[in-house]
Structure 1
C-alpha cells in the first residue's frame, strides 16, 4: 500500500474543515482550468490572463485574504493552502494571484484612499481589472531604495518618469501600483495603464515562469492627478510590507510545486520497470523519495506555523524570510531530485517536474533572493545590517 507524502504525519489533522474545504475548491479549479492548458501555455510562453482571472475570481481567489470590497476575507492559512494548490498547477498561476491580491490589491487596500479602493478593489476582486506592482527596476532589483523612477509636482498634478522591469501582469494590466521617489521620499501611485506616457512591453524568451505574463514598464512624462497618489504610502516600508504579503504566499506556493513533483516521481517509480522490477523497489530510489518527503513535510509545518502566527497578528518580516528561504530552496532541491527519478523522461513536458524545477529557479530569485533573505535573518540574529 502506498502513502502520499503529506499523509505520513497526517497534516490534514492540523486543519479545520473549512480550511480543507477551501483547499478542495482550489484543487478542483486547478484541475479544471489550469492543468488542461498549462503545458501549451508554457511551451508558447503565453497565458490567458484575463480568462483565467475571471475563473479564479468565481471562487474568490483574487485578494482572498483581504476584507471588504468583494474580497473573501479568508484566513492566512486558507490563503496559503490556496497558493499551494495553485502552484501545484504552475508557479505562473500562483504568481498571477499573488501579484493581483498580495501586491497590487493589498497596496491599494492598505495605503489607498477610499476613492481608490472603491474604484479598483471590487473590479480586481471580480477579475474584471488586472493589477501589477511596479517596484523592481532594470538596475535596482535587490536595492529598491536606489530606485531612479521620479515623481515631481507640477501644480496640482504629478509627473512620473522612469522604468520598471520584470513586472508580472504589466502587459495586460489595467492599473499599476508604481513606486517612485519624490522630494518627500518614496511614494506609491495607482496608475491607470492607459495613461499617456505609460508603455508596457512584454518580456519574451524567458526560460522559466513561461506561463506568466511579464513586462517592462516605461514611464515618460506621465501626468497624474493628485488623487493618484496612495495617501498612506510613505517611505520604503510601504512597498516592503506588500512584499512581505507576497512572500508569505510563496512560502506555501513553493510546496505545491514540490508536492506535485514528488507525486509524479512516486507514480512514475511505481510503474517504471528496470532490471525486472519497479524502480520504486530500489534502495537509492527510496532514499531519494524519503528525503524529499521529509523536507516537504518540514516545509509544510513551517508554513502552517507562520500562517497561524499571521492569523494571530504575530507574523514578522524576518519570520517570512525564514519560510521563503527554506521552502523555496528545498522545493527546488525536491524538484531536481524528482527529475532524476524520471531519468530521460524527466525533461519531457509530458511530466510537470522539469517545468516546476525551471519555475522554481525564478521563485528562488523574485520577492527577495535567497541571499537577501539570508541577510534579513542574519541582521535579526546579530543586530548588524550587512546589506551594503
Structure 2
C-alpha cells in the first residue's frame, strides 16, 4: 500500500508540474512525495529525489528569490567551468541550421514531420545527364587501367570538362549545370559505382571547391571572372586547408598572410604576402587555382587598427610567383590526384580574397558552412555507391561460386553477411535521399550532415568488409576482374577526409550537436558570455529554469 501511495503521489506531482500549478502547491506535493519516499527507499535513491526536488525548486521559486539566492552565486561558478569561446570556435558552433536533429533533442520528436518530408526527384535534365554523359564517362573509365597508369587519361579529363561534370552546382547563368543537391549526389554515386578515382576527382570541385565559396560569399566581380572559367573546365580548383601542423584542429593553421604594399600587375597595391605549407590536398598537383585558408595579420595596421584579422580565404592562381606544387602523395594506391602545396612570399591584392575586403576574417565561417553542406553529399554518395556495388557483384558471386556442389549463397554463414550488405545499402540510400531533400529545401544542417558522413562511411567499411569476407581470395587478388578490392583500399580515405570520423563523431555530432540542437544549452552558454551583470543573471535564470523544466518533463 505504501508503494501504491508513493506512485499516486508522484503521478499527482507530475500532473501538477505539467499543468504549471502555482509554486507552493507544486513544492508541497514534491515535499510530501520526498518525505514518503525517504521512509522506504535507499539513501542513494533518496539523494536522486532530492536533486529532482532542487530542479523543481529552480522552476517554481519566485523570480527574485531564485535570481538572488540561486542564480547570482551560481553564475561565477559556471563561468569558471566554461572556457571562453574564441571567435573561430563560436563561428564553428553557429555554422549551418538546426533541422531534424532539433526534433531528436526535443525528447518528443514529431515522427510525422519526418514522414512528411517530400521525396527528392530528379528533373528531366538531371535524369538525362545521368543517362547520357555520366553513363558515357563510366564506359570510358577502366579503373584497373587507371590504377596501372596512376591517373585518368587526358581524354577522360577533357571529356569531364566538356560535359560540365566539374560544374554540377554552378548556376546556368555562369555556364554551369545548376543541379540540385540530390542530382549532385546521384552523379557522384553513379560514378563511384564504377571508379573511385573518377568519383573523387568529380567530388572536389563540386564540394568545398572555390565555386561553392564564390557562389555564397564572392563579390560580383569574382563570380563573373571565376565561375564561367570553372564551369567550362578552363580552371581546375582545389581547396588547401590541412597542413603538417593543423589537421583536425584546422583553426590552428600557422599559414600567414601579412598585409603589406606590393607590386601586382605592374602597380603598387595593398595586399597580403603569403607563406604557407599544405598537404593532403586533393587535385593539388593539377589545380590551376587554389582556394587557400590562412591567418591574416596586419602588424603595421595598414588596413585596420587590429593586428590579428582572423582566418581568411583567398584565391591563388597556381602560376603565381612563389607557389610550388609538390610531388604527388600516394593515398593507399588510389590514383586520384593528391599532393602538397607550398608558398613563399606569394603576393596577392586584397581583391583576391573571397568576398574582397568584406571577406577578411570570415574565412572560417565560410569553410565550416560550405563543408557542412558538402559533407552531406559527396562521401555519403560514394559510400552508398560502394554498397550498391557490393550488393550487385558480391550477391552475384555468391550465386555462381559453388563449394560442396552448392552455391555459397545458400550457406547460412554467407547468407548472414549478404543480408547485412543488402540492409545496410538500403539504409544508406534512404539516409542519403532524405538529407539531400533537406539540402534542396534550403536547410544547411551541420549536425545532420556530420551524422550522415560518419555513419555512412562507417557502414561502407562494414559492408565492404562483409563483401571481402564472402569473396575471399577473389577480393584480395587485385586485377581487372576484381571490383571489390579497389573499394576496400579506398575505405580509409572516405573515413578520414572531410573531417576524420573520430573528430566528426565527438566534436561535431556530440559536441556541436548537443549544443546546437538542444533547446537550452546554447542560451545558457550565451548567458555565461554576457558582460552585463544583471542581464547575465536574467538570461541564465531564464535558460536554467527552462532547462530544468525540460529535464523533468522528459523523465
Gaps of 5+ in 2: 1-118, 262-269, 298-308, 516-520, 523-555
Contact 1:138 1:163 in 2 (8 A): yes
Residue 237 of structure 1 is aligned with which of 357, 365, 377? 365
Residue 358 of structure 1 is aligned with which of 483, 489, 495? 489
Contact 1:54 1:126 in 2 (8 A): no
Residue 127 (1) aligns with residue 196 (2): no
Compared CA separation, residues 119 and 52, structure 1 to 2 (3 A): farther
**May I ask how many residue pairs the two structures share in their alignment?**
369
Residue 335 (1) aligns with residue 439 (2): no
Contact 1:261 1:356 in 2 (8 A): no
Residue 505 of structure 2 is aligned with which of 371, 374, 379? 374
Kindly name which structure, 1 or 2, has the bigger radius of gyration based on alpha carbons.
Answer: 2
Q: What residue is the counterpart of 2:139 in the other structure? A: 32
Whole-Å Cα distance in 1 between the matches of residues 122 and 349 of structure 2?
47
Partner deviation per Cα, 1:284-318 (whole Å, 9 max, x = no partner): 21211111110111111111110110111123111
Compared CA separation, residues 211 and 145, structure 1 to 2 (3 A): same
Greater strand fraction, Structure 1 or Structure 2:
1
| 1:38-53 alignment runs, 5 A limit | 38-48=143-153, 51-53=155-157
Residue 217 of structure 2 is aligned with which of 101, 111, 125? 111
Contact 1:168 1:212 in 2 (8 A): yes
| 1:215-254 alignment runs, 5 A limit | 215-231=339-355, 233=359, 234-248=362-376, 249-254=378-383
Residue 262 (1) aligns with residue 262 (2): no
Whole-Å Cα distance in 2 between the matches of residues 133 and 343 of structure 1?
38
Deviation at 1:27, TM superposition (A): 4.7
| 1:1-388 alignment runs, 5 A limit | 15-16=121-122, 18=124, 20-25=127-132, 27-34=134-141, 36=142, 38-48=143-153, 51-67=155-171, 68-104=173-209, 105-155=211-261, 156-183=270-297, 184-208=309-333, 210-231=334-355, 233=359, 234-248=362-376, 249-347=378-476, 348-349=478-479, 350-375=481-506, 376-383=508-515
Compared CA separation, residues 204 and 311, structure 1 to 2 (3 A): closer
Compared CA separation, residues 26 and 252, structure 1 to 2 (3 A): farther
Deviation at 1:175, TM superposition (A): 0.3
With structure 1 as the length reference, what TM-score do the two structures score?
A: 0.89
Q: Secondary structure at the match of 2:492?
A: helix
Gaps of 5+ in 1: 1-12
Compared CA separation, residues 239 and 53, structure 1 to 2 (3 A): farther
Deviation at 1:202, TM superposition (A): 2.7
Contact 2:447 2:513 in 1 (8 A): no
CA-based RMSD:
2.1
Partner deviation per Cα, 1:191-243 (whole Å, 9 max, x = no partner): 000111100113344324x1200010001111112221112541411112232
Whole-Å Cα distance in 1 between the matches of residues 513 and 120 of structure 2?
30
Contact 1:63 1:72 in 2 (8 A): yes
Stretch deviating more after TM superposition (53-62 or 14-23): 14-23
Stretch deviating more after TM superposition (351-360 or 277-286): 277-286
Partner deviation per Cα, 1:39-75 (whole Å, 9 max, x = no partner): 1222343334x64343224433222123231111111
Partner deviation per Cα, 1:82-140 (whole Å, 9 max, x = no partner): 11112112333222122112222212222222232222221221222211101111121
Whole-Å Cα distance in 2 between the matches of residues 281 and 335 of structure 1?
20
Compared CA separation, residues 328 and 25, structure 1 to 2 (3 A): farther
Stretch deviating more after TM superposition (345-354 or 364-373): 345-354
Contact 1:299 1:327 in 2 (8 A): yes
With structure 2 as the length reference, what TM-score do the two structures score?
A: 0.63
